[in-house]
Amino acid sequence: MSRPTIQTAHLVASPEDTEAQFYEALREADIDKLMAIWSDDDEIVCVHPGGPRVIGARAIRASFEAIFAKGGIPVHVESARRMLSLGTAVHSVVERVLVQTTKGQQTGYIIATNVFLKTTQGWRLVSHHASPGSPHEAGEAVESPSTLH
């Protein structure tokens, strides 16, 4: 008698893999793929650019279903800063989005923070917060020294 094969890809996935699946799901307008990477926690949160805070899987799903009604989002990560500590990862990214306007296709930029938590099912998204950005943010951030007074 053979044992069933256990799929462990999700158990060993990195936060980067989870983030890649998130942006792939956005481009494909695949709501099931998108929701599969979110944590099962009741307190997951999403903030769309210029929008209110959306809490919980049902509300997040509904917000993305409304967005996906217009099709996928042509989004690509331009630059990322990643911090990893034990079972938590925080990614600060610049998203480049192609937007169709009356003047033709335009490029827009979004500044987003993605927070991942390592769970028994692997790395899961617990927070996505996106805000409008500008073209100069597409390059690497310039770090300047700060002085505390």
DSSP 61-84: HHHHHHHHTT----EEEEEEEEEE
pLDDT value of residue 47: 98
Instruction: Note if the pTM is more than 0.85.
Output: no
The span from the CA of 94 to the CA of 92, in Å, is 7
- CA 5 from chain centre, in angstroms, equals 30
The topology under which CATH files domain 14-134 is: Nuclear Transport Factor 2; Chain: A, (3.10.450)
Q: What is the dihedral of CA 52, 57, 62, 68, to 10 degrees?
A: 100
pLDDT value of residue 62: 98
pLDDT value of residue 9: 39
pLDDT value of residue 148: 54
Taking only the tens of pLDDT, the chain with its 149 residues reads 444 333 333 454 899 999 999 999 999 999 999 999 999 999 999 999 999 999 999 999 999 999 999 999 999 998 899 999 989 999 999 999 998 888 888 899 999 999 999 998 899 999 999 999 887 666 554 455 555 55
* Sign of the dihedral defined by the CA atoms of residues 57, 63, 66, 71, in that order: negative
- Sequence-ordered list of residues with C-beta below 8 angstroms from that of 125, at least 6 positions apart, any chain: 18, 19, 22, 37, 38, 39, 44, 114, 115, 116
The span from the CA of 118 to the CA of 131, in Å, is 25
For residue 36, give the 3-state DSSP assignment: helix
Under 8 Å between Cβ of 124 and 39: yes
For residue 20, give the 3-state DSSP assignment: helix
